[in-house]
């Protein structure tokens, strides 16, 4: 009897229906935010001051300033803001059209994350329903729609790039990540994942050419500024030494405020970041019993022979690379949380216990606790910022402890079978 009652519910819980529900809820929430929340002046007003300087003819990046500081974003950010300034906001007079554009971009990010998750959990479609939790977060609206931070557009192109990689359209995915990097330097966090996935499917040569293309694309879109002052542009848009005060950060906020500029603290966090990626590479994403032999032959092939990969594996690599970089950044502003907030339910689900009875409770409770502390201004309060960082750390540790993906297990088994077969053939030809 219970099976018959559950059958209509199981038939209704299909990917297309869940997509409609999530998008419907998000559309209602976005409409409410647009209706009852006006623009809050913060970084966006400073963006417009930068655009006014450029329209006056000043193309020297290091001399374009505002009341909050200089222009520190790459060229594509500038082109997008010029479009907003001249065509959407009537030379900075109105902000509502830009908010509506940001709302549409936000809904695009939600839809892309749904498609990425459904592709990743194609073999277990019920696990993709975890994205319903995204409907219970409100923090992201304050960042993306109310205060109009430019991180939203960068995240949109990044998610589109991940989706295209899942669809085996690697070059189109690389192009999307090039656009993302053209808006904000933070997209560099994805570069290890791009190189690894591309090298794994098409070989090291193609992977290297993709990285060269990304660098060349940045030069191409920045030519008007590079011709005027190449040093000024690179030192402003791609300043790797720039950091944030811990008092304005939500990571490591529990440390003394002057600790963020400490050389040893920077060295330790950067080392942990790099060794974390190396750990995932050697022990989670590949199976390396004979390290040097397998790195040179498998899965890194020098000859470009395309190999389709599991969408779940691709999503894991991209989102873990990004999440690890955010977690171990020595000091980042609160709006950077949007970089992993779309993929956070996915990461919790991937790192959750394998026992189904405990998985739902683990995921829902962890997400709800995280969202609770996230809503209590972690950019100002040390206690809530610390709890947010601890929640991120718990998810990251779970990802470190999770077993390898099934694809890796099967590939390793296939590789070992080929080696065994080769040894058997060699043994057959030995003289007796």
pLDDT (tens digit per residue) in 66-83: 776 778 889 999 999 888
**Beta carbons of 97 and 88 less than 8 angstroms apart:** yes
pLDDT of 289 strictly over 60? no
> Distance (Å, rounded) from C-alpha 221 to C-alpha 75?
6
Question: What CA–CA distances, in Å, run from 245 to 62, 130, 200, 261, 333?
Answer: 21, 35, 38, 8, 9
pLDDT tens digits along 240-263: 776 665 556 667 777 776 666 677
Those residues whose C-beta lies under 8 Å from the C-beta of residue 384, and which sit 6 or more positions away, are: 373, 374, 376, 377, 378
> Distance (Å, rounded) from C-alpha 157 to C-alpha 180?
5
Those residues whose C-beta lies under 8 Å from the C-beta of residue 193, and which sit 6 or more positions away, are: 317, 318, 321, 322
pLDDT of 178 strictly over 90? yes
- Rounded to the nearest 5 percent, the helix, strand and coil shares of the chain are 75, 0, 25
Instruction: Provide the 8-state DSSP code for 66.
Output: E
> Distance (Å, rounded) from C-alpha 154 to C-alpha 189?
12
Lowest mean pLDDT: which of 34-43, 68-77, 152-161? Answer: 34-43
| Token pair in block for residue 29 | 């929430």
| Token pair in block for residue 375 | 């809503």
pLDDT of 1 strictly over 60? no
Those residues whose C-beta lies under 8 Å from the C-beta of residue 77, and which sit 6 or more positions away, are: 150, 182, 183, 184
Long-range pairs, 377-380, Cβ under 8 A, ≥24? 378/250, 378/253, 378/334, 379/248, 379/249, 379/250, 379/333, 379/334
Question: What CA–CA distances, in Å, run from 39 to 47, 152, 333, 417?
Answer: 14, 16, 19, 61
Helix, strand or coil, per DSSP, at residue 70: strand
In this structure, the number of other CB atoms found within 10 A of the CB of residue 99 comes to 23
| Per-residue model confidence (pLDDT) at position 40 | 64
**Nearest CA among 133, 174, 179 for reference residue 156:** 179
pLDDT tens digits along 68-127: 677 888 999 999 988 888 888 776 667 788 888 999 999 999 999 999 999 998 888 777
| Per-residue model confidence (pLDDT) at position 341 | 85
pLDDT of 320 strictly over 60? yes
Question: What CA–CA distances, in Å, run from 25 to 136, 153, 360?
Answer: 9, 21, 21
> Distance (Å, rounded) from C-alpha 229 to C-alpha 213?
22
Long-range pairs, 189-192, Cβ under 8 A, ≥24? 189/321, 189/322, 189/325, 189/326, 189/339, 190/158, 190/161, 190/318, 190/321, 190/322, 192/277, 192/321
């Amino acid at each position: 009897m219970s099976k018959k009652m559950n059958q209509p519910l199981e038939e209704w819980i299909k990917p297309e229906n869940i997509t409609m529900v999530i998008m419907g809820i998000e559309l209602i929430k976005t409409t409410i935010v647009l209706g009852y929340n006006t623009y809050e002046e913060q970084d966006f007003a400073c963006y417009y001051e930068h655009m006014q300087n450029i329209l006056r003819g000043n193309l020297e990046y290091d001399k374009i300033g505002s009341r909050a500081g200089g222009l520190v974003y790459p060229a594509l950010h500038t082109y997008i803001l010029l479009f907003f300034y001249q065509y959407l906001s009537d030379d900075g007079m109105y902000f509502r059209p830009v908010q509506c554009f940001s709302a549409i971009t936000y809904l695009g990010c939600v839809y892309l994350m749904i498609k990425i998750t459904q592709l990743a959990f194609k073999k277990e479609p019920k696990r993709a329903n975890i994205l319903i939790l995204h409907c219970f977060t409100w923090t992201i609206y304050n960042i993306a729609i109310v205060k109009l931070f430019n991180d939203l557009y960068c995240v949109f192109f990044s998610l589109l790039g991940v989706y295209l990689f899942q669809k085996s359209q690697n070059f189109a995915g690389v192009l999307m990540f090039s656009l993302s990097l053209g808006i904000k330097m933070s997209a560099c966090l994805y570069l290890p994942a791009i190189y690894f996935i591309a090298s794994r499917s098409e070989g090291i040569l193609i992977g290297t050419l993709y990285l060269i293309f990304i660098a060349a694309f940045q030069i191409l879109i920045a030519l008007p500024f590079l011709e005027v002052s190449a040093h000024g542009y690179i030192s402003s848009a791609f300043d790797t030494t720039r950091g944030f005060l811990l008092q304005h950060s939500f990571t490591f906020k529990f440390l003394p405020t002057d600790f963020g500029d400490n050389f040893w603290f920077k060295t330790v966090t950067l080392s942990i970041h790099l060794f974390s990626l190396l750990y995932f590479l050697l022990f989670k994403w590949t199976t390396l019993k004979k390290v040097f032999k397998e790195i040179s032959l498998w899965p890194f092939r020098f000859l470009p022979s395309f190999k389709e990969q599991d969408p779940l594996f691709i999503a894991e690599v991209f989102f873990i690379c990004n999440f690890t970089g955010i977690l171990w950044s020595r000091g980042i502003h609160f709006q950077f949380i949007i970089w992993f907030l779309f993929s956070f339910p996915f990461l919790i689900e991937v790192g959750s216990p394998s026992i189904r009875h405990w998985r739902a409770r683990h995921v829902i409770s962890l997400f709800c606790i995280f969202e609770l502390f996230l809503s209590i201004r972690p950019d100002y309060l040390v206690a809530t910022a610390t709890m947010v960082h601890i929640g991120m750390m718990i998810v990251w540790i779970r990802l470190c402890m999770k077993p390898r993906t099934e694809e890796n297990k099967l590939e390793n088994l296939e590789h070992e079978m080929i080696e065994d077969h080769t040894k058997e053939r060699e043994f057959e030809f030995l003289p007796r």
